[in-house]
Amino acid sequence: MAQLTIAIPKGRLEAETLDLFAAAGLCLPAHRDPRQLACLDESGETRFIFVKPSDVPVYVEHGIADCGVVGRDVLFESEADLLQPLSLEIGACRIAVAAPAELPENGHSMLRVATKYPRIASRYFGERGQPVEIIQLSGSVELAPVLGLADCIVDLVETGRTLRENGLKVTEVIAASAAQLVVNRASYQLKATVIAKLISALKGVVRLRAVARASRP
Amino acid sequence: MSEPLSKIPSGFRYYSAREAQARRFVETTSMNVFAGWSYEEIVTPTVDYYSLFEQGMGETEAQRSFRLVDVDGRLLAFRPDVTTSIARAAETLFAKRARPLRLCYSATVFRQHTQSKADWRRELTQIGCELLGKNTTAGDMEILAIATELLQRLQLNRSFVITLSDAEIFSGIVENLGLDAKARDELRRLVDIRALSELELFLNSYTTAEESAAFANLIQLSGRSEIFARARQVITNTRSRAALDRLESLWRIIESLGYSSNFEIDLGDVSRLDYYTGLTFKIYVGGLGVRLGSGGRYDHLTGKFGRDEPAVGFVVELDALAELLAKEEQSNLSNQTENVLVSSGVDDACTVFQKALKLRAANRQVRIDGEGT
């Protein structure tokens, strides 16, 4: 039986994450069926499960997966109670406010904010004392200001291309986001040796990559 | 439109059959262990003034409770914990009793808002004990020995780990670095989620890079006796050092009792620091994604209701324990005698009950079956 279960987010971070794990010595079998939702690594000691990014914190918090990889955006939004021992320095992007023009400096009027991240958005504007109406959407958030559903959006910005295509630009950056290794609190104690080994292997890879990046001309 | 009567509010549920049996088994076993260590059972009020819990647990925790308004307008709460109420009783009802006081309980607690999503229950049963009036390593050890015996007696077919730390280690570091309340909370948060690189960055503005790295390294892992030597290289302030010494002498007793395979030192445990003043510990059991229990020394809690008095205790979550046990098919959850048959359909009611009473007098289990009865 596998000693460790790791939740991998499907989609945006998946390939980079698997690449990182492979560099740390946890390789998936070469001929993996991409529709398979769970599979063992080559050694048979680690099981990978493939889930929706927003479900990674759920699996790890319940201890179904011992560890997981998740973007900080999703982690902030989930408010899950997890250990976050290592930033993996992949999938770097920003959680930002974007709007058609500069947002008017008017703290009194209600701002309509469309977002996939209602908690992050309401916390951010709440701290500034800006009254907002949060409109929760599950995709194509950039359309909301264009069509007049919202004044601005809070969303993940990678290159900014989608924003530009919709005539939006970043007005404020809320936080930098990157993929994070998260660990279940009980697993961290009960499987301490295996998890420590995993963290230190991943940390080694992350450091090497940082050195490689820095030495690049 | 009214809700259908079939619906149960979220966070509440029924227990029956094997699950109910497992719960009863955990409760009986635990209360027997407590009695074996001379702990006296105490039943606290289910509803009490909200201000009591706010004082005892802190605002954040107390606000999780179900609250209601009394006829005189004062705010009441369904108890969100038991320890607070015990601490108050110790300084009021039991103020004149000889010390140490040894009290234990098995009680339901209620939380309107749960702490994490993995913990869905809003009605929980807590089993715990408190030792008041004893400020010694022996007092700490007594509580740990009881917790260990309890877990052993439940015959969990799984490994358990109790991680130990001391709240004063962290407090000494905060004092030494001269952190204000906000910085202290941030440091606590980073240690708590083991965000090591962020922790190093944070500490760099208060101390040397070398010390920051060493500290981050120290809280990364739990370990056993080797932790003390490593910790002393990194932590030099008097307050933290005294706590380390205390923890080490406790560890020596644990080792000499042959317990050390179930114990670990985890200097990264910094939860609920406002409450604990010395030893802190957490209990984890294999197969359970959440913590099974926790405990520690809280020498200032009783002071809120009278005078400061040393106190140490622990609590385990009956619900999680019973769930684990109910799942283990081979575990024997009952102390009952063999299942004995009782009656047949041909007897008249009189005969049936005569037979049944005889069996009951002999303490056998009966079940009255049959059409006629």
Q: State ipTM.
A: 0.83
For chain A, give the percent of residues with pLDDT over 70. 96
CA distance linking residue A170 with residue A98, whole number of Å: 4
- Residue to mutate among A190, A191, A194, A202, with most B CBs inside 10 A, is A190
Contact call for residues B144 and B162 (beta carbons, < 8 A): yes
Outline where A64-155 has alpha helix (H): 72-78, 118-127, 143-147
Tell me the pLDDT band of B105, cut-offs 50, 70 and 90: very high
How much of chain A is helix, strand and coil, in % rounded to 5? 35, 30, 35
Q: Is the pLDDT of residue A103 over 70?
A: no
Q: Give contacts of A183 with chain B, Cβ < 8 Å.
A: 194
- Residue A160 and residue A202 in one domain: no
* Every domain range in chain B assigned CATH 3.30.930.10: 12-158+286-335
**Rounded Cα–Cα distance for residues A34 and A26 (Å):** 17
Mean pLDDT of B273-296: 90
Average pLDDT, chain B: 90
Residue B373 has pLDDT above 50, yes or no: no
Q: Please, which pLDDT band fits residue B327 given cuts at 50, 70 and 90?
A: confident
Domain that holds residue A167: 93-176
Burial code (b: 16+ CB inside 10 Å, e: under 16) for B296-312 equals bbbbbbbeebeeebbbb
- Residues in CB range of B111: below 8 A, 6 or more apart: B11, B64, B65, B66, B80, B121, B122, B124
DSSP secondary-structure letter at B302?
G
Question: Which residues, including other chains, have CB under 8 Å from residue B349's CB and lie 6 or more apart?
Answer: B372, B373
Question: How far is the alpha carbon of B182 from chain A, nearest alpha carbon, in Å?
Answer: 16
A126 and A136 belong to one structural domain: yes
Same domain, A54 and A159: no
Contacts 24+ apart (CB under 8 A), B214-217: B215/B173
Confidence (pTM): 0.88
Put residue A188 in one of left, alpha, beta given phi > 0 → left and psi -120 to 50 → alpha. Answer: alpha
Chain B residue closest in CA terms to A81: B116
* Residue B295, φ and ψ in degrees, nearest 5: -170, -175
Say yes or no: A82 and A106 in one domain. no
Sequence-ordered list of residues with C-beta below 8 angstroms from that of B96, at least 6 positions apart, any chain: none
Ranges of beta strands (E only) in B5-93 are 40-41, 47-49, 67-69, 75-78
Paired strand residues for A111: A132
Instruction: Say which CATH number the domain at A73 has.
Output: 3.40.190.10
B194–chain A nearest CA distance, Å: 5
Percent of chain B predicted with pLDDT > 90? 67
Task: Please check the confidence at residue B336 and state whether its pLDDT lies above 70.
Answer: no
Structure tokens that stand for A71 in this block: 């973007």
Is the separation of the CB atoms in A12 and A157 below 8 Å? Answer: no
The residue in chain A having the minimum alpha-carbon distance to the alpha carbon of residue B189 is: A83
**A17 and A79 share a domain?**
yes
Domain shared by A164 and A118, yes or no: yes
Q: Which residues contact B348 (CB under 8 A, 6 or more apart)?
A: B372
Tell if the CB–CB gap between B222 and A82 is shorter than 8 Å. Answer: no
Tell me the helices (H) and strands (E) count for chain A, helix number first: 8, 11
Residue B241: per-residue pLDDT: 95
Q: Do B289 and A184 touch (CB under 8 A)?
A: yes
pLDDT digits (tens, 9 = 90+) for A120-167: 999 999 998 888 999 999 989 999 998 989 999 999 998 888 899 888
pLDDT in the model for residue A158: 87
B198 touching A, CB under 8 A?
A: yes
Question: What tokens were used for B307?
Answer: 């005078």
CA distance A20 to chain B (A): 18
Q: CB under 8 Å, gap of 24 or more: what pairs does A123-131 form? A: A124/A97, A124/A154, A124/A174, A131/A107
Candidate from A20-34, A192-206, B193-207, B244-258 with smallest mean pLDDT: A20-34
B337 pLDDT exceeds 60?
Answer: no
- Compute the Cα dihedral for B262, B267, B269, B275 and give only its sign: positive
Whole-angstrom CA distances from A209 to A23, A69, A206 are 10, 18, 5
Pure H helices in A143-191: 143-147, 161-165, 185-190
B293-297 and B279-285: which strand pairing? antiparallel
Whether residue A204 lies within 8 A of chain B, CB to CB, comes out as no
Q: Give the pLDDT confidence score for residue B372 in this predicted structure.
A: 52
User: Is residue A86 within a helix (H) or strand (E), and if so which, with residue range?
Assistant: strand A83-87
The alpha-carbon gap from A80 to the nearest alpha carbon of chain B, in Å, equals: 7
Q: How far apart are CA B285 and CA B254, in angstroms?
A: 19
Residues A41, A66 share a domain:
yes
Tens digit of each residue's pLDDT (9 = 90 or more) over B198-215: 999 999 999 888 888 888
With bands split at pLDDT 50, 70 and 90, how would you rate the model's confidence at B342? Answer: low
Distance of alpha carbon B117 from alpha carbon A55, whole angstroms: 12
Q: Is B161 within 8 Å of A188 when comparing Cβ atoms?
A: no
Among all residues of chain B, which has the CA nearest to that of A180? B195
CATH placement of domain B12-158+286-335:
3.30.930.10
- What is the average per-residue pLDDT within B41-68? 94
Sheet holding A132-136, edge to edge: A132-136, A111-115, A152-157, A93-99, A169-177
